Amino acid sequence: METSSRGNGNKGAGGNNNNRNNRRRGGRKNNNNNNNDNDTKNKNRNNPKKHKDDNTRSSHMNSKRSKTTTAPRDVGQRRSDVPGPSSSERLNTNDKGTNSDSAKLAHITNHRFADLKISAESRRAMAEVFRYEFMTAVQSETLPLILKENKDCLAKAKTGTGKTLAFMIPTIEKIMASMSNNARQRSDICCLVISPTRELAQQIGTETERLLSFHERHLKKVVVCVGGTNKNKDVKSLSGTTPIVVATPGRLLDHLQTSGLAERMARLDTLIFDEADQLLDMGFRPDIERILRLLQPSRETRQTLLFSATIPDSVSEIAGIAMRRDYNFVDTVGEDSEQTHLHVQQQLMVTPQALQIQSLANILERETKNNDYKIIVFFTTARLTGFMAELFNSVKNQTGYDVLEIHSRKSQKQRERASDEFRKRKNAVMFSSDVTARGMDYPGVTFVLQVGLTDRSQYIHRLGRTARAGKDGKGGLLLAEYERDYMVKKELADMPLESTSIPSLDTASSAATRAIQNVSKTHDLRTAAEQAYRAWLGYYNGHLKKVKWDKKTLVQQANMWGAEVGLKAQPSLQKRTIGKMGLRGTPGLIIEN
């Protein structure tokens, strides 16, 4: 597999143990290929429209219990043949002296992997490689159902709850059965997993390789195809027997259209969408619809598994297109499931723009004084993330910590290294753009700090990196004064934000001052600051109404920001860039010659 990531996607899994075997009637949405998700709202009456989710609350079920929806023809049938634990079934694995990794999980069931009807090789991998004995709630709800039937399955499950194993264990069993029956050609691809981000795709690939540790050699090839890597290398890796492919939508579509993959996937056994709501949030719906058209030959015979943290209309519509009519719906969240954004401590800190770097340094100084800390700081743009990381690393001898960075301006290998390093360190600080906001599992994150404007959905997704699997954690929001009204009174009006003063620590303030002074002295740091200035200008140009600025005020604020972060000379912009921003004729800009 083309991956250097060694993260354990299930290690931080916990899941809510509100498992039930109740079943309800389900169905399918009408097929709809309209790219505007809103156009199809309230048009369809069947499942899972009745399970509508508002992306922030798990309120689409009429019960507080975990549900599974089955085919209309099965209505009224009691699914007693599919085991599932009750909400009272808890187990302290420390008391059993087993499951050393899973012992760290706060919420697991007493259902054992050893009791599943799966191959001895997979059971051995669970025991010896993962060292898991007991299933999480998500796994115990979905695994028996997916293993028993060839029906498609739409599962509502939180991130960080062991979903990768929930869909890969049955997938591998199906591949084994298919190959043992000589039912396919050597070149056939058996399983396709579609992931929204490169990092999550790599993580899924790594978990799958671990699960295949004791299987026969011809099963062990897992190819990860993501953007930002060499396409020709993908083609070479895909040659020969390739049972499992994990891909991001853009790169997958490219291969389906140009590399002959569509023909090799005509007899696909399993199609999996992970983090389906994020796939659609990120604008991949047109690509997904094209992919599904290219995979149409396998639609009636393959098993399609769609996992999503929320079930908005857009996910329901894709389920209707991708899945057969009698698919199952499994809810492992439930109506009363406590959401991270409702129970985690959230601090609101407001600072003058001129003191933003000093404020950030003081907050980090306070948080890194703890014995065990893992901190993620989110910024508005990739360029700003890179600049801030370089700025803080220029004074790491003074602050006592170095900063990892992960954002779209880094190569795939650099992002993988940063991700791996953040996981394995006991104490770590990582600056990030939104590539880590959903899906990725970083165990033990103690503090998530968000800097600058964001929206409600993004805020919740980012906050979800902490307090996972029942562990402690908290969030913080650092705003400039001009951002406060919009964020507090409108976007996050119902969030439990607690106004908190920003600490003033001499060491941190001194380090911040020195860092700002370094900008004018260091070529690389100055270049990063200039790039961040342009990105800052572009970002806030798209949010003028939120901060109540006109174009002239925007440029004035950008120029002040540049000076405040240490730039001695105002950066210039290309004439074309100024035109695209709609800033022609705005005073205060410098145009490149």
Whole-number Å distance between alpha carbons of 258 and 275: 26
Q: What is the pLDDT of residue 440?
A: 66
Sign (positive or negative) of CA dihedral 423, 136, 469, 450: positive
Pick from 425, 333, 326: nearest CA to 375: 425
Q: What is the pLDDT of residue 63?
A: 34
| Structure tokens, 194 | 């579609």
CB 119 within 8 A of CB 177: no
With tokens 């969240």, the residue in question is 333
CB 568 within 8 A of CB 586: no
Same domain? 302 vs 353: no
Q: Is residue 173 part of a domain?
A: yes
Same domain? 214 vs 267: yes
The CATH number linked to 414 is 3.40.50.300
Domain-ending residue, one of 520, 550, 580:
520
Q: Is 571 exposed, middle or buried (0-12, 13-18, 19+ CB in 10 A)?
A: buried
Domain-ending residue, one of 520, 544, 576:
520
**What H or E segment, with its residue span, contains residue 256?**
helix 249-258
| Ranges of the chain with pLDDT below 50 | 2-106, 336-338
Same domain? 206 vs 348: no
Same domain? 323 vs 363: no
Q: Quote the domain boundaries for residue 481.
A: 340-520
Residues 150-207: pLDDT tens digits?
899 999 988 778 999 999 999 999 999 887 776 667 778 999 999 999 989 999 999 9
Whole-number Å distance between alpha carbons of 42 and 325: 19
Query: Greatest CA span in the chain, whole angstroms?
Result: 75
Q: What is the pLDDT of residue 313?
A: 85
Q: What is the pLDDT of residue 443?
A: 82
Pick from 571, 480, 563: nearest CA to 531: 571
Q: In what order do the strands lie in the sheet with 447-451?
A: 403-406, 428-432, 374-378, 447-451, 474-480, 345-351, 497-499
Q: Is residue 578 part of a domain?
A: no
Q: Is residue 193 part of a domain?
A: yes
| Structure tokens, 131 | 């060292």
Q: Is residue 226 part of a domain?
A: yes
579: left (phi over 0), alpha (psi -120 to 50) or beta: alpha
Same domain? 112 vs 256: yes
Same domain? 233 vs 380: no
Q: Is residue 526 part of a domain?
A: no
Same domain? 309 vs 404: no
SS3 string, 79-112, reads: CCCCCCCCCCCCCCHHHHCCCCCHHHCCCCCCCE
Residues 298-326: pLDDT tens digits?
999 999 999 998 888 889 999 999 999 88
Same domain? 443 vs 501: yes
Same domain? 274 vs 324: yes
Same domain? 170 vs 261: yes
Domain-ending residue, one of 476, 492, 520:
520
Same domain? 240 vs 136: yes
Same domain? 365 vs 300: no
Q: Is residue 572 part of a domain?
A: no
Residues 544-566: pLDDT tens digits?
999 999 999 999 999 999 999 99
CA 360 from chain centre, in angstroms, equals: 25
Buried residues in 75-94 as b, exposed as e (16+ CB within 10 A) = eeeebeebbbbebeeebebe
- Residue 448: DSSP 8-state: E
Q: Give the predicted TM-score (pTM) of the model.
A: 0.59
Q: Is residue 430 part of a domain?
A: yes
Output the CA–CA distances (angstroms, integers) from residue 533 to 382, 562, 570, in the order listed: 12, 6, 9
Number of domains into which the chain is organized: 2
Q: Is residue 556 part of a domain?
A: no
